[in-house]
Structure 1
Amino acid sequence: MTLQSNRRLGPLRALGLAAATSLIATGAAGTAQAADAPLPVTITGEDRVDLSLHSDNGDPTEPQVDLRLNAPGEPFEGDGVIPPVFTGDYTIRIDASELAGVAKVKLPCDADGLVAVCTGSELYAGQQYNKVGGIRLDIGDDSEAGDFGSITVTGEGEGLDFTPLSIDVLVGGPEFVNRRLSLPKDFRAGDTFEAPVGLRNAGSTAAEGAVLRFHGSRGVSFPDSYGNCSYAEVTTGSLLHQGTDAICTFPDGIEAGAAYALAEPLKVRTADFALHDIFTYSFTAVGPGEAAALRAAKDYRPGTGPDLGLKKAGDADPKDYAKYADLDLPLKNTYDLELTGASPAGEAGDTVTAEIGFRNNGPAWVSALRSGGEPIGFTVAVPEGATVTKAPQDCGENTIAEGVKGYLCWVTTPLLEDAELSFPFELRVDRVVEGAKGKVALPEWDNPFDSDHTNDSAWIVLNGSDEATDGGTGEADGGTSGGSTPPGSGDGEGDSGSSGSSGTSGSSGTTGTSGTSGDVAGDDAGGGLALTGAGGMALIGGAALLALGLGAGVIVLQRRRARQGGGTTA
């Protein structure tokens, strides 16, 4: 045991809290100051790192701490040269000497042992372009459970006032893993799942308390309300982020190596429209004081019932626990995607509108939560004798077969269970061809969640009689749609390419289209296209639908590096 491990640092009582601080919104420093006052700069980065004695602590090439400088002002948006808010020399000193014998440390910049000095000459508003460097931490040969220390980061520069950063590092502390979940095979939409929520402390030391966080997406709710929990519902904004979040606190100690379970299963109710919704939970170690602060977080309302208890679970198989615990539910439900056609009429030289309809007849929504909301595509052929003069924003010109062009249209997801959208095409009648037809079609997919495939295609009938424009396979138009992954199928391997950056109409469930179609055709997908009808030839729709799989979605934040001298280029 190193000397540092015998010191009881006050900040270490907050170890385990940093993971939850994102629940409490904090604004960047932007206070106005006098012209001769120093510019306030905050050194930012992770303020806590826990090192496990039982795992590899993540990718050894990736730092756990990303150091940046946050300067006042509105962050630059747009293209071109980014104007600095400060020009002049400054230094950032990173002192990790307290970690000698505690952990291995890799510092950025000009490092001399466990101390590094970074220099700079410009600062920009915000922190995106003010990157200092990363700090990588790993256990060493001398690391033991309970070892801890701090890294101190300070700054100095004429005309600057730096707020320092302290990074607490603990080796072999409490390390919670969560009990795995599995869904009953007969579970359906509208059912309530009694989740056997639990944890195991796989770390080397006890925890003063625990915090349980759980989340349900839009189709999930929690019928019970507990006095030691706080709840927040999100019902506006992106459908991807709507749902319920909860925080529960447990002040009693969590012994090292012991397993615990909730005193009663956590009830997880699903709506009638639910399909591939997500329930997830996790436990983290935290002290009683910090736990109380979490429950008072902004926008969380306290529960009203009795407290939810946590009890020892006895012997537990480590294979039943994992770092992440989540579940897709239900796996059984259906929706009905339907296309409707149009039957405009006009003389030669007239411009007419063919309004294509797309709707979900439910009962389920298309959640597409794991894929992050990839779009559904359908194809549109142009009737013979007509030219498209204006296409919907969410549609782009596309090659549909060898030598044949049509349109590929996109519907954004998630898609509400009662969504109804409109895709108006303006057609110029170049010559009257009685009963000219253009097919509108979803891919011929093997989709077990779409309950009715007879309405997956429709027709634009130009200058026709009273024949139907919707439903059925109709006439054979040549070509066969290739296989495509249905929305929410769990494949998670669909290739979205660069297309389908469609607007918000699909997620809002309102009539009308919005946004842009992206690069589905490589050309301008808006008005002014001169695409002549191809005699009602069928569109090959095998690639017209992006797979809406259930693989874990990952958002990669690309950070631009600030260039030295005279500002930086966005």
Structure 2
Amino acid sequence: MATLSLGAAAPALAAEPAFPLGGPSAQVLQPYPDSGASKERSLRYDLAYVGPGNSFPGEFTVTVDLTKVAGVASVRLDPAKPRPNCTTSATAIVCKQQGLSVGTGGNGNSFDLLVSAAKDSKNGASGEIAVTGKVTGASVTPVTTKLTVGGPDLHLGELKLRADVTAGEQQDLPLAFANRGTLPAKSVALELDASAGLEPAETYDNCRRQDHGGMGATTVCLVEGEFLPGESYQLAPDSPLHLKTTERGYQDRLRYGVVPDPAPSKDAPEDKPATGKKLKLVKASAAVPVTDSNLDPRNARRAENTDLNPGDNERSFEFTARGARADFEAVTASPSGKVGDTVVAELGFRNKGPAVISHLRSGQSVARTDIVMPAGVQVTDVPRNCRAVSIDGSERAEQLGAPRYFCDGGLFADVPGTYADRFAMKIEKAVANAKGSVTVGEPVAGGTKPLAFDPVAGNAQAAFVVEVKGGTSPSPSTSASASPSPSASASASATPTASSSTTAAGATGGNLASTGSSVGPLALGALAAVAVGGALYVGVRRRSGGHA
């Protein structure tokens, strides 16, 4: 019999890769109706690629075991999202896939199922589908989904709030909901998704806050209990909630919701009492009226796995802060070089606050940067959010070599945040006293006008000068901002930029953004789900080019 020596000289065996299967841990199903077809719900499973490299060869086999849901649920592949190489039987669905890679388009690494309550199934009946996988040379981490016939149907009551607010004021948030479902909820997560100018006034030990930088924060409160069908619930008198408007307010939104039986998070922080108080719920003195949510059902999906009708679990309300102020300061630069050199300059504006300016509601730019080039330079590369104009502000077809540029400031300006556009320009000749300018303001025909919310008009314009070595060039005026400060520079190393080029000929233009937070903005209403303290849903959208 041959033996293998495992001495010190033997090479270590590399651990085989493990590819995780992702999918929901639970799904509630509408009970089978007395007439008509049972309502189907969609389940998606993803086979995730985990390096090294970009791909793994071999044939993957994914199996959906249906034996434990017999008589409870009907399960089939979604015909609207077909996959090749799949077979279906009464006990299993088996799909084969050749290889696994990063960024596979379409349904390459995913498959979709449609599930519904089985005929003659009983309210409260449950079973599990187990999804497993195998491939030679690697392991596949399985996932299990519990299917339950019936479930909670939490309907969130509409809040009657004041839309016109001022910094420092508070208003009551009397959250209430009704369970219109067929089963009780064992716990609920109350969610407040507030933009930058709004925040809850109270803190409770069973609430968790996730900050989103300039885009605000999400607060989720997990309340244990039994919330029965046919009953309505409201905040207990000794644990109220109030919404406060801060000096960062401008145009804000509160999105509020309730999620039954949220999935626990493995990464949830340890529960450490801080205030000694907990947010509590009690039976409501009156039934919560049933009215339609003001959100698009396609965007109201936080409770889609644990609520029979997730479209009525969320609502939103928009606010406008009276007297909001934000100081927009022009940002200039002082590049230098010899005649014939190509240099770059980052030109734009910074928001010195206090208000975070957001035009996500209107879709209009928060500001325009009007850049006049000094004589003697020729622009060779233009940022993608800037357009060339003639010196009088009229339209111009040719984008390179223009005397003036208008740059779109985007829909969002954080505090502190610098939004600068990188221009590349060739020094063609030295011109005595050549001086351009950078002006930030509200877009109008032919240029800009002062921003209505900006209380400091004197710093909205700055001189822009290119120093010609061996030539004659003036210095910027003392009132001009010579370059972005190190703490908020658009090229600060802590913030990713839209362009990696920083020098000379062929430099790539781009809009750069730097903020005082390491968390980029997100668009409210487009949140990804992450559980914290039971369920904290956090969406973070990275900023590219200073646009949220």
Give the TM bin, normalised by the shorter chain.
Answer: 0.5 to 0.7
The alpha carbon displacement at 1:199 in A equals 1.6
The answer to whether 1:284 aligns with 2:244 is no
User: CA–CA distance in 2 between the matches of 1:355 and 1:132?
Assistant: 43
Q: Quickly say closer, same or farther: Cα 1:339–1:36, change in 2 above 3 A.
A: closer
In structure 1, the residue matched to 2:222 is 248
Kindly state the Cα deviation for residue 385 of structure 1 after the two structures are TM-superposed: 3.9
Query: Contact conserved, 1:248 with 1:295, CA < 8 A, in 2?
Result: no
Match of 2:25 among 47, 51, 57: 47
Residues 6-405 of structure 1 aligned to structure 2 (within 5 Å): 35=13, 40=18, 42-52=20-30, 64-70=42-48, 74=51, 76=53, 82-84=54-56, 87=58, 89-100=59-70, 102-107=72-77, 109-113=86-90, 115-123=92-100, 131-139=109-117, 145-156=123-134, 161-227=139-205, 229-234=206-211, 239=213, 243=217, 245-251=219-225, 253-264=226-237, 265-286=240-261, 297-298=268-269, 301-313=272-284, 314-319=286-291, 322-332=312-322, 333-339=324-330, 356=347, 358-367=349-358, 377-388=368-379, 398-400=387-389, 401-403=395-397, 405=402
Q: Judge conservation of contact 2:439–2:462 (CA < 8 Å) in 1.
A: yes
Deviates more, 1:368-377 or 1:426-435: 368-377
- Contact 1:94/1:153, CA 8 A, preserved across alignment: yes
**CA 1:163–1:466 in 2, change beyond 3 Å: closer, same or farther?**
closer
Q: SS at 2:203's partner residue?
A: coil
Aligned equivalent of 1:415: 413
Structure 1 CA distance for aligned equivalents of residues 134 and 148 of structure 2 = 28
Tell me, what secondary structure is at the counterpart of 1:268? strand
Q: Distance in 2 between matches of 1:239 and 1:390?
A: 32
1:151-185 per-position Cα deviation (integer Å, ceiling 9, x unaligned):
22234555555544321112320122322234314
Q: Per the alignment, do residues 75 and 125 of structure 1 end up closer, same or farther by CA in structure 2, a change over 3 Å counting? A: farther
Residue type at the aligned position of 2:282: K
- In structure 2, the CA distance between the partners of 1:387 and 1:246, relative to structure 1 (3 Å rule), is same
Question: Equivalents in 2 of 1:154, 1:415: separation in Å?
Answer: 46
Q: How far is 1:260 from its partner?
A: 0.9
Q: Which amino acid aligns with 2:396?
A: E
Superposed CA deviations along residues 365-395 of structure 1, whole A, max 9, x for unmatched, are 225677999885523232344334788xx67
Distance 1:157 1:178 in 2: 46
Higher relative strand content: 2
Counterparts of 1:38 and 1:95 in 2: how far apart (Å)?
A: 25
Q: CA deviation at 1:200?
A: 1.5
* Cα distance in 2, alignment partners of residues 390 and 441 from structure 1: 21
Unmatched 5+ stretches in structure 2: 1-10, 78-82, 294-311, 390-394, 467-472, 508-520, 530-548
The Cα RMSD (Å) is 5.3
Letter in 2 for 1:178: L
In structure 2, distance between residues paired with 1:344 and 1:161: 55
Query: CA shift at 1:189, angstroms?
Result: 2.1
TM-score, structure 2 as length reference: 0.63
Q: Hey, what's the Cα distance between the residues in 1 that align with 2:76 and 2:378?
A: 64
Alpha-carbon distance between aligned partners in 1 of 2:477 and 2:134, rounded to the nearest angstrom: 80
Structure 1 residues 339-372: Cα deviation after superposition (integer angstroms, max 9, x where no partner): 3678999998899998856233433122567799
Tell me, which stretches of 5 or more residues in structure 1 are unaligned?
1-32, 77-81, 471-504, 531-547, 557-570
Please list the CA deviations of residues 55-108 of structure 1 after superposition, one character each: whole Å capped at 9, or x if unmatched. Answer: 9xxxx999732223457x5354xxxxx341x53x45322133544554442226
- Partner of 2:178, secondary structure, is strand
Identity among equivalent positions (%) equals 24
Give aligned pairs, total.
446
Distance 2:104 2:439 in 1: 48
> What is the rounded CA distance, in whole Å, between the counterparts of 1:403 and 1:211 in structure 2?
55
Q: Once the two structures are superposed, what CA deviation does each residue of 1:423-454 show, in whole Å capped at 9, x if it has no partner?
A: 78777362637666567454227975456778
